[in-house]
């Protein structure tokens, strides 16, 4: 999840809901969550770091939830995702990119992975968002 000066409480609440949803259906072992921050506001950045620590504490997700803050916002969101792929992308077969306001059920996440597995030649799989 690339983020940029968004409200950390909302971000971490959504990630916690997705984490717990994946855990509830027994799919958590197949997912890792990354918060990829390009935040430039120092106060928001400190809130992110504190929220990240609290999220890991609340969920016990030390082995599955990660946070990275880039000191330079090079090429914005696309650069943020590219940086992740260059540094850690080889560890993973698939990637689901969420927006800061994204909220998905575990079933939807698992369904996306199944679609990627079924269509390895696909470069991108998208759907229409629902307003909540």
Taking alpha carbons only, the member of 93, 90, 57, 87 closest to residue 70 is 87
What integer best gives the mean pLDDT of the chain? 94
Confidence of residue 92 (pLDDT cuts 50, 70, 90): very high
Q: What is the pLDDT, as a whole number, of residue 129?
A: 76
Confidence of residue 36 (pLDDT cuts 50, 70, 90): very high
Write down the pTM of the prediction. Answer: 0.92
Q: What is the pLDDT, as a whole number, of residue 37?
A: 97
- β-strand pairing of 2-3 with 33-37: parallel
- Contact residues for 53 (Cβ-Cβ < 8 A; gap 6+): none
**Tokens describing residue 30:** 């197949």
Q: How many C-alpha atoms does 128 have within 13 Å on its Cβ side?
A: 2
């Amino acid at each position: 999840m690339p983020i940029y000066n968004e409200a950390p409480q909302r971000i971490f609440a959504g990630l916690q809901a997705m984490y717990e949803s994946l855990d509830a259906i027994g799919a958590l072992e197949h997912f890792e969550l990354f918060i990829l921050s390009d935040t430039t506001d120092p106060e928001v950045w400190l809130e992110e770091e504190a929220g990240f620590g609290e999220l890991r504490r609340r969920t016990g997700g030390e082995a599955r939830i990660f946070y990275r803050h880039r000191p330079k916002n090079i090429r914005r969101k696309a650069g943020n995702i590219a940086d992740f792929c260059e540094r850690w992308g080889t560890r993973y077969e698939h990637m689901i990119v969420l927006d800061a306001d994204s909220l998905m059920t575990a079933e939807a996440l698992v369904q996306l992975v199944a679609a990627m597995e079924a269509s390895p030649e696909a470069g991108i799989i998208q759907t229409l968002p629902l307003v909540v």
